[in-house]
Amino acid sequence: MTKQQTQNKAFIVFVLLAILHLQSTLSSVDHSTYHVNKIGHYSWELLFDIDNRENSGTVTQQFEMTYYANCSYYNLKNEIKTTSLAISTGLKIGALFKIVSIGMKGQIDSRVRSMYEHLSEIRSEMKIERTKTETYEIGPYSRLKIYRLVFNGPGIDYLTSTVSTTPHHMKDVQIHYALKLVPFLHYIDVVYTSDSVGRPSNIIREVNGKNPDINGGYRGSYVWLIPIWTTRLEDAASGIQIVIQDKENENYKDLAQGARGAYRYIKIHTNYYATDVITEIGLYRTSQENDDPCNGGRWQFKTEDINSKRGGDYLYLVWNKSSI
């Protein structure tokens, strides 16, 4: 076998291995729905104890009662994750997930139901606090105990405004959560086409609806970026870098394919010990040098200008990270 044939064979093996790795990465995006059940508890706490048993007259007392709800999406997810790991539902350590639906069964307060529904929508922290004044009359030689209903469930602690002199047993509330895994960015593929009609459907889009062609406004091929996702934490990207250089690097695909000037490459950074990874990505195109996509709060990070030193629009990859 000649040296050229050996090199050709080695190249073919390299390509096949790369394809197999890409296919395994694509298949690693888990689209399953996971189901976790939790319990919410009602209890009664003693609010007031007014003892008038040694008096012959009626006593009138006024109380200011504070009731509040502390709702935490962070605590809710942590409780769900702890339960799912304990009962082996399939969620791995480090997995990110979103709650797609919440179902409740039992004697549940309509306000608690609304809190859970709202919490799954806003996916953040929420506190509600209100006060009201109550007046009670205690007759001669009497004693009055006032109890308040309290709810404690995953992510919600609720001191209700419901009071009673005769607390009764309340059954636990069964809460069912349907979960979907949040994918991590693994890699960005660069694809060339000869026209805009042939662009792939799953490209990284410009966040304001502008031209997503990296070579837009220049000569050469139409250049599209395609995100490759995974739910395997060990394959997750933690950063992105744009490399601009005069020398060609055959290990990367040129973002300026067919255009004159420097070579432009995307380099993905991964870190096995990273505590946050990329879960959202976009392109940001602007004609203004001082238009920073990270200033508005929508995006956390950006690359260097992809079009640096070749004029035209300023173009950035922008992304958000999630903690694991």
Confidence of residue 92 (pLDDT cuts 50, 70, 90): low
Q: Of all residues in the chain, what percent carry a pLDDT higher than 90? A: 60
**What is d(CA 231, CA 235) in angstroms, rounded to the nearest whole number?**
8
84 CB-contact burial (10 Å; exposed 0-12 / middle 13-18 / buried 19+)? buried
Which positions ≥6 away from 87 have C-beta within 8 Å?
A: 36
pLDDT at residue 15, rounded to an integer? 40
The H or E element that residue 52 is part of is strand 33-52
Beta strands in 199-275 (DSSP E): 222-230, 237-245, 263-270
| pLDDT confidence of residue 91 | 65
Percentage of the chain exceeding pLDDT 70: 87
Could you read off the pLDDT of 262-299 as tens digits, one per residue? 999 999 999 888 889 999 999 999 999 999 999 988 99
Q: pTM, whole model, 2 decimals?
A: 0.69
| Better-predicted residue by pLDDT, 15 or 238 | 238
* pLDDT value for 123: 79
Name the token pair of 172.
């636990």
Q: Does residue 24 or residue 57 have the better pLDDT?
A: 57
Sign of CA dihedral 105, 111, 114, 116: negative
Burial class for 4, CB neighbours closer than 10 Å (0-12, 13-18, 19+): exposed
Tell me if residue 101 falls in helix, strand or coil.
strand
Mean pLDDT of 176-205: 94
Quick one: CA torsion of 121, 127, 128, 129, rounded to 10 degrees? 180
Of residues 273 and 135, more confidence is placed in 135
**What is the band of 11 on the pLDDT scale with cuts at 50, 70, 90?**
very low
- Per-residue pLDDT at 21 exceeds 50: no
* 5 vs 271, more confident: 271
| The predicted structure's pLDDT at residue 3 | 43
Residue range 309-320, pLDDT digits in tens: 998 999 999 999
pLDDT band at 87, cuts 50/70/90? low
Is 232:183 a contact under the CB 8 Å cutoff?
no
Q: Where in the chain is the domain with CATH 2.100.10?
A: 183-323
Q: What count of residues does the chain have?
A: 324
Predicted pLDDT of residue 214: 97
In CATH, the architecture of 183-323 is: Aligned Prism (2.100)
Average of per-residue pLDDT across 158-178? 92
> What would the two tokens of residue 178 be?
């349907």
